[in-house]
Amino acid sequence: MSSSPGRTALVTGVNGISGYALVEYLIRQPASEWSKIVVTSRKPLPLPWLDDRVEFFSLDLLWPRDKIVAAMKPYCSDVTHAFFNSYVHTDDFSQLAKYNIPLWENFLVALETVASTSLQRVCLQTGGKHYGAHLGPISPVPYEEDCPRYDDKGQNFYYVQEDFLFARQQEAAARGHYWHYNIIRPNGIVSFTPSANGMSEAITIALYFWICKELGQIAAFPGNQFFYNCVDDCSSAKGIADLSVWAMIHEHIKNEAFNLVNGDTYVWKYFWPRIAAYFSARAGGPAQIGDPTEGGTTMENTVLLSDWAKDKREVWNAIVDKYGGNREAFDYGTWDFFDWAIGKNWPTLSSMSKARKFGYQGYVDSYDCYIETFRAFVESSEKELHTLRNPFDDSVVTDQVHHAGPEDVDRAVAGAISALKAGPWKDFTGVQRARCLHNFADLAEKEAARLARIESLATGRPVGGIQFFDIVHMVETIRYYAGWADKIEGQSFIDDDGLYKIIQYEPIGVCAGIASWNATFMYVAWKIAPALAAGNTFIFKSSEKSPLGALALGPLFIQAGFPPGVVQLLSGAGASGAALSSHPHISKISFTGSAAIGRKVQEAATRSNLKRVTLELGGKSPAIVFPDAPMDTAISVGSGFLANSGQICVAASRVLVHASIATDFVDKLKSIFEAAAERLGCNPLELDTDHGPVADRQQYDRIMAYIEQGKRDASLITGGNRKGEQGFFIRPTIFLNPSEHSSIWREEIFGPVLCVKVFQTEEEAIQIANDSEYGLASCVYTTDVTRALRVAGKLESGGVSVNIPHLPSRNTPLGGKKQSGYGKELGKHGLMSYLDAKTIHIK
């Protein structure tokens, strides 16, 4: 092995399968081995690497050579090891040479020009076409590296590429510059690619299975009978990276060519059903057309995917709408290439005996290789799947929800950074950002009924409340922040000390939001809209209990015109949130949830990079009812509380009522609760349903435990038990005068359990109301405006409503005190939390 530390790598084609995998491999090697990694492709990176050693520049190797040299000079003058992974795919094999020969020749000449003194090794990746696999049956099989060249009739551009490599090496040696090469010849590459690529065989299979499953069709093997029954092999892109680096750093194997396959073989007849099982799809074999003759000349593909796929885009769009994902992924399918790959009437196998003789031990299981690619295709690196159940009847909504893992979070952050710094978003004007926000609001408004149904399925919330309150609030809030996008102004100060002072406000960077499950669409508006209006990028993680509604918004963000990476939606549980909270490249995180988890978010944010944090945490909100309050107005505290079955953070779950009206008030409140109980049990998907079940079994058990404790600590007025045998329905419950230390009085229950206490004086009411670790919201019921303002000023909460249940408003700040968190969402305060003030002094 070479003892030269600190190599500089140059990798081309990094948006392609093997180039991407090679960079992924290199960044996992120590800096002492690879101190700098220069990467290039024609198009910007959709998924940049978060590694300080990586330097990217755009390069089209079909440019004029002088332009290529000029583009490479700032980055490549110290390159020691160059990996060429570029390839132009066309449907017409006769045209491959037209593009790929100058692609390689331009690269090598420019590389020698720019890195004339540093270059040590060059790695050329070719492929199975070197052996004529694309032209017809050849012998021997499997292919060996020393097979004599066949009569290619001018179609094998790999021969031309290799001959040019040999000639340039000899010319360099004649000039006294000795560099060496390795050639890697994979056979049928199978791996993830971050962009559309002509050789994405596994992604094509994934699309085929997903669509067949959605249509209820059997996924027939699209190739012919011969290939269905013959032995096949393939090459993992990770394996290509491993062999390429292994060969390039060993001196004793310089100037050698190596085949690369995974190391195993398979027969599609048995392999196809295994892949189908992964997708829970039905698999079928091919149909044989005509009688086979020697050479299989009458064998034809059962399904020509290039024809089959022509009318399937809308089916794929429907899949994305239903489960989330990327509409553009349909374009990653290389249907024509796959038709050829599995429609040949001859075997295409490669031998790795030469690499083995030189000591290479790499091996990849081909089934695992395909499955790993499929997992990347559905945009999750984690194997864990989450099952969602409908709390109305405990039926399974889906068992296919992925939890985002650390790699998924890294990928999301990388995409957000790219969108912020390299994509078009950084150049969007405020007017353009506003237009995107307005477009999204319009789309969400049109899709309100569908979105409400999707959100209701897993949460049990009545669709009417979601459609006509949550989504209306979301749309209005997004439009409100769209109005701010072009009105973010700075400040200047009079020159009174010889300095002209300017304050300007800038986006703070990549932001993230973690939301509770009880109001997904509202949280989307509170967190994402102000961040985007300010020019940031955003990663939103919904609760593991309610991921479907947020994921359904993904296509709308794309249709609204937001560039890729600006908004990204993740699903997952605590580990996903922890990865966001602790990520060193996220500048701010906004969290809505319990106080206990909020503390963990704060700690992780502090330990990682001191990111900004907004915490909207739990509440045990009081409502004070004075004797002069109109009774009909005062008892609205009850109907407001029961919205969403008490699962609202600002809900007034502690009601303080003056002794002089307590009996009448409690009787009327009881009537409201019992009327609600009578309507309880209806299907949340019906528009006239106004009360649903609690969110899930865990929430049900938690609430019922509080109720049992309440029966020991207070007088039960109504409710206190389950309604019906189906679903997680809890009768609205009222407890009267619990002890001041009772858990039902002091802790957030987050369910349909209301506590009432009687007070005698205004001072006593204020003291009882403030005797809580929480301080999110409060309500005051009185006709005396002076009293209302006086009491509101003394209540220790972030917001106070008079004569109405407290609800968030798009243009006023929402946020708590004490253990209810800090920082504000909504209003101008919410916008400013996503901006950074910069001071400029001019002498």
So which residues are the catalytic ones? 616
Residue 102: its H or E element? helix 96-114
Longest alpha-carbon distance in the chain: 107
DSSP line for 600-655? HHHHHHHHHT--EEEEE-----EEEE-TTS-HHHHTHHHHHHHGGGG--TT---EE
Q: Which residues have CB under 8 Å from 435's CB, separation 6+? A: 482, 561
Three-state SS at 329? helix
Both tokens of residue 77?
A: 């003058």
Q: What is the distance, to the nearest Å, from the Cα of residue 533 to the centroid of all Cα atoms in its chain? A: 21
Phi-psi region of 22 (alpha: psi -120 to 50; beta: other; left: phi over 0): alpha
Q: Which residues have CB under 8 Å from 361's CB, separation 6+? A: none
Q: What is the distance, to the nearest Å, from the Cα of residue 227 to the centroid of all Cα atoms in its chain? A: 37
Say how far apart CA 229 and CA 268 lie, in whole Å.
6
* CB-CB contact of 23 with 11 (8 Å): yes
* CB-CB contact of 819 with 774 (8 Å): yes
* CB-CB contact of 569 with 550 (8 Å): yes
Residue 22: CA count within 13 A, CB half-sphere: 33
Rounded to the nearest 10 degrees, how much is the dihedral formed by the CA atoms of 94, 98, 100, 106? Answer: 170
Say how far apart CA 671 and CA 608 lie, in whole Å.
52
β 654-658/588-592 pair status? unpaired
Residue 211: its H or E element? helix 201-215
* CB-CB contact of 126 with 189 (8 Å): no
Omega of the bond leading into 391 within 30 degrees of 0 (cis): no
A 10 A CB-CB count for 314 gives 9
Q: Which residues have CB under 8 Å from 388's CB, separation 6+? A: 396, 397, 398, 399, 401, 457, 458, 545, 547, 548
Helix, strand and coil percent figures for the chain, each rounded to 5: 45, 20, 40
A 10 A CB-CB count for 660 gives 12
Quote the radius of gyration of the chain (alpha carbons, Å). 32
β 715-718/774-775 pair status? unpaired
DSSP line for 380-420? -----EEEEEETTTTEEEEEEEEPP-HHHHHHHHHHHHHHH
* CB-CB contact of 513 with 527 (8 Å): yes
State the amino acid at position 334 in one-letter form.
T
A 10 A CB-CB count for 739 gives 12
DSSP line for 220-279? E--S-HHHHHSEE--EEHHHHHHHHHHHHT-GGGTTEEEEE--S--EEHHHHHHHHHHHT
